Amino acid sequence: MRISEVRLRQLQGTLPTEGDLWEERLVRPVDVYPEFRNRNDHEGGTQGPDGFKIATYFVEIHTDEGVCGLAGPIPETVAFIIAKHLRKLLVGQDAIAGEKLWDQMHRAMVHGRQGDAMLAISAVDCALWDLRGKWLNQPVYRLLGGPTQTQIPAYASMLGFSVLDLEKVHARAIEYKKLGYRAQKWFFRHGPMSGAEGLKMNVELVRTLREAVGEDYDLMFDCWQAMDVGYVVELASRIEKYRPKWLEECVMPDRLDSYAKLRERISIPLSGAEHEYTRWGFKRFLDVGALDVIQPDIYWCGGLTETLKIAAYATAHDVVTIPHGHSSFATAHFSAVQSPIHTPYQEYLVKWNAVHQHFLVDPLDVINGMIEVPERPGLAMEIDDSKIEQQAVVFA
């Protein structure tokens, strides 16, 4: 079965919302500059009066046997790289030879083995897995040797919800616990440049959430690369009594020495590396014991092919792998072939999934706190034409 065409589709549509979808931004590394500190750039689209306007891209890989693999959504820059650089490597190739195709794409990216170039490889890899599953009429997790688990405990990832109104935070935490989510992750709003008052507000967020959900419930907190060692040490000393499950991405991933210092100086477990790429990037973290939990994003770090290798290496270090929640379908299939002790949760970005899955026929949802691994062939993704307001084949 040969690849006959690599097609990039741009889809536009509107997600109905009551008010702004994104209530609040999270702290960001660029917040060290005051002109960025209060900018609330929308993730994945723009807010309009009748809803959230989405313009995004999907990649389709077609074959001479009529089978088509699908992956996405992906940003425009990634679609461009697939069309202008990877397409010529793929057309005419054996669609089943995934290891060869991954290696060729990786070797061809001599100036871009991270960032958008790796996002492009990741999307192609996931589309190829979808294609193979459809060709064999099997869900992808079956091709990978699963299942080890068919229902994955979900934690609610609260990106985009307000963290400044603590009464709303308290009520929302109770609401999502009642919905069955096994844990919740909230995002700090303040970093070092917000001073003592910002630090106090971060601590109050943690305290409020612990009071809302009670003692026997996991809470995690995301720093999104925006802090430094001294700040995290002080923050950890003030919140450790509230028993966070982990602190996530405390510093930027290139600062491996900073993670080592944090491991020595705080008792709260550390997670991170969603913005790291490939097995070689994760090897750096694992070899020095920098993290308790690694969080590769399947749509970013190299696709399913590479994430499986990263996770296998992590198990040799007895480190937990809980992928970043950008790609729920691929993540569900990945989780279905991992030991439950090494992948005990799947992240579910509540607001982001509403955007990310808007154009899909049967979005992956959380029911009673669990994600049911799809049984349909491939990754189980299908475009819902009724959601499309405008579309075009781009970069042809």
Out of 85, 190, 317, 324, pick the active-site residue. 324
Do strands 366-367 and 370-372 pair parallel, antiparallel, or not at all (unpaired)? antiparallel
Instruction: Give the closest residue to 298 by CA, choosing from 261, 329, 252.
Output: 329
Query: pLDDT tens digit string along 42-89?
Result: 778 999 999 999 999 999 999 999 999 999 999 999 999 999 999 999
List all residues 6 or more positions away from 84 whose beta carbon is below 8 Å from its beta carbon: 395
Measured CA distances, 203 to 66, 74, 95, 244, 328 (Å): 56, 35, 51, 12, 30
Q: pLDDT value at position 44?
A: 82
Question: Is 62 among the catalytic positions?
Answer: no
Concatenated DSSP letters of 42-101: PSSSEEETTEEEEEEEEEEEEETTS-EEEEEEE-HHHHHHIIIIIHHHHTTSBTT-HHHH
pTM of the predicted model as reported, rounded to 2 decimal places:
0.97
* Rounded-to-integer distance, Cα 36 and Cα 29, Å: 10
Phi, psi (rounded to 5 degrees) for 248 = -110, 140
Q: pLDDT value at position 40?
A: 80
- Average confidence (pLDDT) over 97-101: 99
Domain with CATH 3.30.390.10 in the chain: 3-137
Segment holding 391, helix H or strand E: strand 390-394
Query: pLDDT tens digit string along 147-191?
Result: 999 999 999 999 999 999 999 999 999 999 999 999 999 999 999
CA torsion sign for 169, 170, 171, 173 is: positive
Write out the two tokens for 311.
Answer: 């996770």
Phi, psi (rounded to 5 degrees) for 268 = -75, 135
Q: What angle do CA 258, 25, 322 make, to 5 degrees?
A: 55
Domain with CATH 3.20.20.120 in the chain: 142-372
List all residues 6 or more positions away from 42 whose beta carbon is below 8 Å from its beta carbon: 21, 22, 52
Query: pLDDT tens digit string along 1-57?
Result: 999 999 999 999 999 999 899 999 999 999 999 999 888 877 789 999 999 999 999
Which residue(s) pair with 339 in the sheet?
Answer: none
Q: pLDDT value at position 237?
A: 99
- Average confidence (pLDDT) over 84-105: 98
Tell which wins on pLDDT, 383 or 19.
383
Q: pLDDT value at position 24?
A: 92
Query: pLDDT tens digit string along 213-235?
Result: 999 999 999 999 999 999 999 99
Q: pLDDT value at position 39?
A: 86
Superfamily of the domain at 3-137: Enolase-like, N-terminal domain (3.30.390.10)
- Average confidence (pLDDT) over 86-104: 98
- pLDDT of 118 strictly over 80: yes
**Ramachandran assignment for 145, one of left (phi > 0), alpha (psi -120 to 50 degrees), beta (any other):** left
Query: pLDDT tens digit string along 307-324?
Result: 999 999 999 999 999 999
Q: pLDDT value at position 93?
A: 99
* Rounded-to-integer distance, Cα 255 and Cα 261, Å: 10
Helix segments in the chain, DSSP class H: 76-81, 87-90, 98-108, 115-136, 140-143, 166-178, 195-213, 229-239, 256-265, 278-287, 303-316, 328-335, 350-356
Looking at the domain that runs over 142-372, which CATH code has it been given? Answer: 3.20.20.120
Q: pLDDT value at position 111?
A: 83
Query: pLDDT tens digit string along 246-300?
Result: 999 999 999 999 999 999 999 999 999 999 999 999 999 999 999 999 999 999 9
* Rounded-to-integer distance, Cα 91 and Cα 363, Å: 30
Q: Tell me if 325 sits within 8 A of 352, measured CB to CB.
A: yes
Residues in the chain: 396
Q: Tell me if 345 sits within 8 A of 151, measured CB to CB.
A: no
Write out the two tokens for 314.
Answer: 């992590």
